[in-house]
Amino acid sequence: MHFSIREATREDVPALLKLIKDLAVYERLLDQVVASEDLLARAGFGEERFFRALLAEDAEKQAIGFALYFFTFSTFLARPTLYLEDLFVLPELRGRGVGKALLRELAKIALAKGCGRMEWAVLNWNQPAIDFYRSLGALPQEEWTTFRLTGEALERLSKAD
């Protein structure tokens, strides 16, 4: 199968949003998607860029996968970390090297930016993804628990004394 990978542009926002919704369906989280083309355009391609994305396309230039990422910072390493927020390949095209190619491009970006590591999260039930990541040499960080603050709790904390 022939495919290519490139940096996403503002013109790719509709394709990115479709793939994000496809990912949400796969993860059984479609009811949580509030992203819109406008929000993605502002956050990823506006004056201040909060994310970047790679887009995988087939020979007909149709979007078949994406990787959305941003940079954090490791205080222990004193170097940036490339954080992969989402990686998705259309289910019918998995196993053809698209996901691995997206991760390879991310690794190149991480090294070019001087990152000390790449990190991402995977749903505990997603055994195919876990197996795939392990096959690449990635290791789970089981001693860490992810916390999330949203909605009312986030508002409450922002106003705390």
Calculate the average pLDDT of the chain.
Answer: 96
Q: Number of folded domains in the chain?
A: 1
Q: Which pLDDT does position 146 carry in this prediction?
A: 87
User: Residue 127 sits in which domain range?
Assistant: 3-158
- Does pTM surpass 0.75? yes
Catalytic residue, candidates 26, 69, 83, 133: 133
CB-based contacts of 63, cutoff 8 Å, min separation 6: 12, 15, 16, 18, 19, 55, 56, 57
pLDDT in tens, 28-57: 999 999 999 999 999 999 999 999 999 999
C-alpha–C-alpha distance, residues 118 and 104, integer Å: 11
CATH number at residue 135: 3.40.630.30
Is 133 a catalytic site residue?
yes
pLDDT tens by residue, the chain, 161 residues: 899 999 999 999 999 999 999 999 999 999 999 999 999 999 999 999 999 999 999 999 999 999 999 999 999 999 999 999 999 999 999 999 999 999 999 999 999 999 999 999 999 999 999 999 999 999 999 898 889 899 999 999 999 88
